[in-house]
Structures are given as structure tokens and as C-alpha cells.
Amino acid sequence: MGDNRNFIIAIFLSVLVFIGWQYLVINPQMEAERARQEAMETADGSTTADAAGEATGGDVRLPSVEAPAQPGIGGVGAADVLPRDTALAQAPRLAIRSAELDGSISLKGARFDDLRLRQYQATTDPDSAEITLFSPAKTPAPYFSEFGFIGLPGSNVGLPGAASEWRVAEGETLTPETPVTLAWDNGQGLTFLRRITLDENFLFTISDRIENRTGQSVTLFPYGLISRTGKPAGNSFFILHEGLIGMFPDGGLHEVDYSDVESEAAQTFSASGGWLGITDKYWAAVLAPEDGRAFTARFSEDPDSRREIYQTDFRYDPIVLADGENAVVESRLFAGAKVTSVIDRYEAAGIYKFELLIDWGWFHFLTKPLFHALHFIAGYIGNFGVAILIITVLIKLVFYPLANKSYVAMSKMKKLQPEMEKLRERHKDDKLKQQQEIMELYKKEKVNPLAGCLPVLIQIPVFFALYKVLFVTIEMRHAPFFGWITDLSAPDPTSLFNLFGLIPWDPPALLLIGVWPLIMGFTMFVQMRMNPLPADPIQAQIFTWMPVIFTFMLASFPAGLVIYWAWNNTLSVLQQGVIMKRQGVKLEIFNNLGFDKVAALFAGGGDKPKT
């Protein structure tokens, strides 16, 4: 009874954790995501990638030239918030246009504060609003990037600031084919020429040429920053980093949560290469300073603002220009979707380990190859869902030798069940003797009781790697399967409790048990019935209800992962059935379901059916 009690307690606690996770984590995330999507569809005819709860300003904190710490500049109040179109009209603008991006650069401050992603919509409806990445100051959720210069403390040299209006010296619209040049003159002999280019995807190159004709030497600290007001809507996910991020050759990868900079002082790093920025699940804004030029990077949050203003910035070491000298400083800005092929191309072009902008997770060595395999197959098939089915078969083939040994060991274990029951009955009052006799039986029959666990343990990393691929890669976003599955990265939208849409009622998240979770639960039930139920009736009931528990638990998982699990269960049942037949072991599933004659036909060594 002591063993049964401990077993029941363990199962009860596991179920409690599952239910608690569903109520406290999964449900709030789904509700928040649903609210975010609805809000994005109704906001000014466009969609912000990261809607903040309250209105704030868009002030920034310039990097310090004396110490890492820098006082924040407070945000604006709710009365100062403007509709997005009105805020955009507050300054003259230079248009940005490409196949991927649409927006403008504010000539006041030369800010990148208006970017929309033309190839990505808020929902699976192709007519839904485009995703908006950058928004200007005084909107509900300012998010922008700027590049500028800081002088020495006490210097009276005029430098361009957030209110300085740049002049368009060359070009009318920034496109991949037509770069533009902006100019600003301080009226004292110091001239700035900023040439901006855009590639065919999401990378801007900012090249500043400074000409000193002031009659004296000038010391400048070039900088770049990304400022964001508010966090992304919805709860964070423990398997995904969203927040500030940086990768430096000497310092490695830094994933800084929003809460880290709220509760601590600004984090600073010295480097001469790498990148830093702010990342979301599918989108990111990243600064890539010039390789080989020393800089100080910083992650911070404005402690004096009435709203959260997060900022990542870098400041180059000083440039000293004698009278008559010129200097050129180059930086890059990535602002767009985290498309794997594009990210890899930028890494190949020299941005240090840029692939880590995508959170591939602990099983990076599995996750990324698995993604490439899926992407390759889907490129030929034209459907990521079918690619998941095919990759599952390939994984089964790779693991077939191990799985074969496992199922053979399980079949031998089943044959030993009668002998083991006799030993348990014979030594029911002596647990130690009972275990010793059972181990001797294992040795005599050359059976490894742990062999059946090996394929399961090996497949766990593959399972999590596939989950990571479905969850974090933008290529899976809105990828359809067949029928009602229009997004493999989202849960099955149907529900048993409204008869799959026949009843006009939207069930709560806990009751969104769709068709594919039900199929998965059934295949799990069949797989468990391949083996005899435990002799103890309580344990037998627990195993009987386990598929139901997993059906509810996995209902909130991405549909692609549930499809994978159902298909994997089906293949496992077929494989185990064939191996059991070869070993002359009776297929218990037919007996358990009452199909005794069918069971006898499939069991090579079982009893013949009675006639």
C-alpha cells in the first residue's frame, strides 16, 4: 500500500502541475494574444508589433561620455499622445519603400521611426493590417532608432540632436536601388553628411561623413540607439527570450529580460564587434556597430519615467578631428522579421554570430538542422504540415535500430509477466527478496528492464527541438496544413465542446479541445493499450485516464506539434505491433477492447481463436 500511495501522490501532483500550468500560464497567454490581435486590427488602420498598455512619450537617454549611469528623461503624459498619422505629420519625412518595408525617416532628428512590414499581416486573413514595427514619439507605443553625436562635457560645438532638421541632399525615396544622403550644418564650419542605403530585406547602412572647418579641433562620440516604450503585450514564454539582446566576441551572448533592467542599474559592455538590440518572438531591431571600432554598449530602462522606456545603445570611442580633417563612421541597423535565411545571410556578410538573434534554444544543434530539413522538404512539397509528417518518418528510420531493441525488450518483459507475478505473490511480505528474485529472472532471460526507456529519452530532445521550431521561427507563422488548420504555429481552433463550431458559443481556453488533440489522445490510448494494464487496479485507472490528461494539456500546443505527436504515436503503434508479432507476443489492445478473435490472429505465439 505504501508504494501505491506514493505512486498516487506523484500522479496527483503531476496532474495538479498540468492543470495549474494551463490555468495560470497557458490560458492568460492565449487570452492576451487574442486581445493583442484584436487591438492591432483596430488601431489606426494598421498593426503595431508591440502595443503598450498606456500612452507614453518617446524620449531617449543619450549614452554618457563620463560614466555608464545616465539619468532618464521622463515620458509624456496621456494628454500628449497623438494618433499615429498625426504624430507622423509633426515632422517632414523621407519615404522608405521596398518589397519588404514601407515607411519613412523623420528629418527631424533623422530618426527611423516609421516602419511597416509589407509581407506580414496581423492574422491569417490576407486583407488584415500589416505589422508595424517602428512608431514615432507621442504615439501609444513609441519604438524607433536614431544615430547621432555627443560632444565633450562643456563643449560649445553645435551638434545635431533630436530636434535638428536634416536636409535631403540627394535622393527622394530610400529604396534598395536608390540610396539617399542627408545633410546638417551647425553654421560654425562643422558639416555632417549621412548616406543611408537599404538592401532588399531589412538592413540599413548608415555612413556618416564629418567635415571639420571650424578652425579648431573637435572631439565627437558617435552613437546609435534603439528606444522602446512598453513591453510586448501578453505574458512572456519561458522557452523564448523577448527583451534586450546582444552578442559580443569577448562577452558572448547576453539575453537581458525587461525585468533585469527594471530592477538593476544599466548593464554596460566594452567591445569592438558584435551587435545589440531588442527582440520579439518574430521581429527585432538590432544595431551592428562598425567592426574593429571600439565601443561601449548599454542596456537600460529609464527609472525616472512614468512609463517603461527601454533602451539599448552603443557609443564609439572618441573621434578627434583637427581643423580641415574629415572622418567617416559607419553603422548598420536591422529592423524587420527574423527570417532564418536572411539572418544567416547577414551573418555570412560579417555580423558576428547573428544567427543567435533567433532563439534556437538549448538544443540548437538539433533545432536548426531540423528547421532546415523541414524547410527543404516543404520547399518541394509546398506544405509545412506534410513536411512534418515526412520528417517524422525519417526520424523513425534513424531511430529504428534503437526502437527495435526497445520493443524487443518490452516484448520479452511481457512474456515474463506471469513469472514476475508468481515471484511477487511468493515474496509479497519481503520486498527486498522480491526485487532480488526479479533481477535474477532478468539476468537469466537476458532482459534489460530499462531498454524500453531509451528511445523515449532520445526522442525528448527531438520533441522539444520541433516544438521550438514551430514556436519561434517566423516561417511557421501562418503556415497552413489542410482544412481548418490555417496556422501550424497556433493551437487547433476547433473545440469538442461547441461541436466544432456547430454551436454558436466560444468555449474558454481550457475547453478548446480540437480535432487534432482528440486524434492525438486516441493514438496515445491505442499505444498504451498495446501493453497489459498494471495488475494494481488504481494504477490501471491512472494509466487509463492518462491519454485524457494529455489531450487537455496538449490542446493549447501548436497544431503542428500535436499533428507530429499523433503521427508519431501511429507509427509507433504499427512498429511495435509488427515487432510483437515477430516475437510471438499477444497484442493486448484487441483483448482490452474486446476483440479477442482479432487478437488471436495477430499474436504469433498466442492462443488460437476458438471456433
Of 101-110, 250-259, 315-324, the least confident: 250-259
- Range 292-321 average pLDDT: 90
As beta bridge partners, residue 167 has 183
DSSP secondary structure letters along 534-576: PSSHHHHHHHHHHHHHHHHHHTTS-HHHHHHHHHHHHHHHHHH
pLDDT at 246 over 90: yes
In whole angstroms, what is the distance from residue 501 CA to residue 504 CA? 7
- What share of residues in the chain are helix, strand, coil (percent, to 5)? 40, 25, 35
Eight-state DSSP code of residue 171: -
Which region, left, alpha or beta, applies to residue 595 given φ > 0 means left and ψ of -120 to 50 means alpha? beta
**Of residues 369 and 533, which shows the higher confidence score?**
369
Eight-state DSSP code of residue 136: -
Of 31-40, 198-207, 498-507, the least confident: 31-40
pLDDT tens-digit series, residues 375-392: 999 999 999 999 999 998
Sign of CA dihedral 586, 587, 593, 598: negative
Reported as a pLDDT band with limits 50, 70 and 90, residue 453 is low
Q: Encode 489-520: b = buried (16+ Cβ within 10 Å), e = exposed.
A: bbbbebbbeeeeeeeeeeeebbebbbbbbbbb
**Of residues 597 and 267, which shows the higher confidence score?**
267
**Of residues 592 and 204, which shows the higher confidence score?**
204
Cα Rg, the chain, nearest whole Å = 31
In whole angstroms, what is the distance from residue 412 CA to residue 441 CA? 11
Contact 135, 48 (CB under 8 A): yes
In whole angstroms, what is the distance from residue 271 CA to residue 256 CA? 17
Listed in order, strand segments (DSSP E) in 21-69 are 47-48
| pLDDT mean across residues, the chain | 81
Contact 224, 286 (CB under 8 A): no
Pure H helices in 399-536: 400-415, 417-426, 431-445, 454-472, 515-528
Nearest one of 559, 544, 557 to 592, comparing CA atoms: 544
Of 71-75, 273-277, 286-290, the least confident: 71-75
In whole angstroms, what is the distance from residue 558 CA to residue 578 CA? 31
pLDDT at 396 over 80: yes
Q: Which amino acid is at 164?
A: S
In whole angstroms, what is the distance from residue 479 CA to residue 490 CA? 10
pLDDT at 251 over 90: no
What pLDDT is attached to residue 575?
A: 83
**Of residues 156 and 224, which shows the higher confidence score?**
224
pLDDT at 55 over 50: no
Query: For residue 488, what is its C-alpha cell?
Result: 501550424
Contact 366, 468 (CB under 8 A): no
Grid-cell match 524607433, residue found: 144
Contact 298, 235 (CB under 8 A): no
Nearest one of 180, 468, 143, 184 to 278, comparing CA atoms: 143
Strands 47-48 and 130-134: parallel
How wide is the angle at C-alpha 309 spanned by C-alphas 361 and 137, nearest 5°? 115
CA atoms within 13 A on the CB side of 394: 11
Most confident by average pLDDT, 73-82, 336-345, 451-460, 602-611? 336-345
pLDDT at 74 over 70: no
Eight-state DSSP code of residue 24: I
- Range 76-90 average pLDDT: 78
Which region, left, alpha or beta, applies to residue 279 given φ > 0 means left and ψ of -120 to 50 means alpha? beta
Reported as a pLDDT band with limits 50, 70 and 90, residue 61 is low
What pLDDT is attached to residue 582?
A: 76
Reported as a pLDDT band with limits 50, 70 and 90, residue 87 is very high
In whole angstroms, what is the distance from residue 150 CA to residue 161 CA? 9
* 446: phi then psi, degrees, rounded to nearest 5: 55, 50
What pLDDT is attached to residue 576?
A: 79
pLDDT at 128 over 60: yes
Integer CA distances (angstroms), 326 to 191, 192, 214, 218, in order: 10, 10, 12, 11
**Chain center to CA of 201:** 21
Pure H helices in 305-363: 340-348
CA atoms within 13 A on the CB side of 377: 17
Tell me if residue 389 falls in helix, strand or coil: helix
What pLDDT is attached to residue 38?
A: 42
pLDDT at 583 over 90: no
Integer CA distances (angstroms), 295 to 347, 417, 438, in order: 20, 69, 67
In whole angstroms, what is the distance from residue 277 CA to residue 279 CA? 7
* 61: phi then psi, degrees, rounded to nearest 5: -115, 115
In whole angstroms, what is the distance from residue 201 CA to residue 186 CA? 34
What pLDDT is attached to residue 417?
A: 73
pLDDT at 605 over 90: no
As beta bridge partners, residue 228 has 143, 310
Contact 281, 242 (CB under 8 A): yes
Which region, left, alpha or beta, applies to residue 234 given φ > 0 means left and ψ of -120 to 50 means alpha? left
pLDDT at 79 over 70: no
* 301: phi then psi, degrees, rounded to nearest 5: -135, 140
In whole angstroms, what is the distance from residue 175 CA to residue 557 CA? 40
Reported as a pLDDT band with limits 50, 70 and 90, residue 420 is confident
Grid-cell match 506539434, residue found: 561
Contact 547, 557 (CB under 8 A): no
What pLDDT is attached to residue 217?
A: 93
What pLDDT is attached to residue 51?
A: 34
- Range 89-110 average pLDDT: 96
Reported as a pLDDT band with limits 50, 70 and 90, residue 69 is very low
pLDDT at 123 over 90: no
pLDDT at 10 over 70: no
Q: In angstroms, how far is the first alpha carbon of the chain from the final one?
A: 42
What pLDDT is attached to residue 429?
A: 76
pLDDT tens-digit series, residues 477-520: 889 999 899 999 889 999 888 787 788 888 777 778 889 999 99
pLDDT at 354 over 80: yes
What pLDDT is attached to residue 368?
A: 93
DSSP secondary structure letters along 239-251: TS--EEEEEETTT
Tell me if residue 384 falls in helix, strand or coil: helix
pLDDT at 574 over 80: yes
- Range 435-460 average pLDDT: 72
What pLDDT is attached to residue 489?
A: 86
In whole angstroms, what is the distance from residue 186 CA to residue 210 CA? 11
Grid-cell match 521581429, residue found: 283
What pLDDT is attached to residue 47?
A: 33
pLDDT tens-digit series, residues 262-284: 877 889 999 999 999 999 999 99
pLDDT at 604 over 80: no
Grid-cell match 496621456, residue found: 78
Sheet holding 275-279, edge to edge: 167-170, 180-185, 190-198, 203-212, 326-337, 283-289, 275-279, 243-248, 252-256
